[in-house]
Amino acid sequence: MTIEADFAELMVDQITVEVSGAPTDVFGGTAYAAAVTYQGRLVRVNKMVRTDVGDEAVSRSHFYVYGAPGLKPADRVTLADGTTPDVLSVERYPDENGPHHEILYFAGSG
């Protein structure tokens, strides 16, 4: 078994992501693309993280995304239980071939 296959075996959870677009009106409403489902692993643990603007915040859970689709904190994420936690930050990790996986850090109970 290869490392990649071992990594994929850990990805037993799913999230649905709607990628954010440009504001749709003068009131700051945001348009979202069609929902896409990603395989990964949800881990519920408290961790201090930096948000995308550099503030410190406590993440209550995080999600390892199998792959690196280029997600960002402004995207709308829905967990398998139907909750939609705010994304505090996104980390991207490469391997020797480029982007490999991402970690989304969530606020709230996630």
**What value does the mean pLDDT of the chain take?**
89
- Count up the domains in the chain and report the number: 1
CA separation, residue 40 to residues 10, 18, 19, 21, 53 (Å): 8, 16, 17, 24, 25
Tens of pLDDT along 59-74?
999 999 998 999 999 9
For residue 92, the enclosing domain spans 3-106
Residue 63 structure tokens: 């999600």
- Return the CATH number at 49: 2.40.10
pTM of structure: 0.86
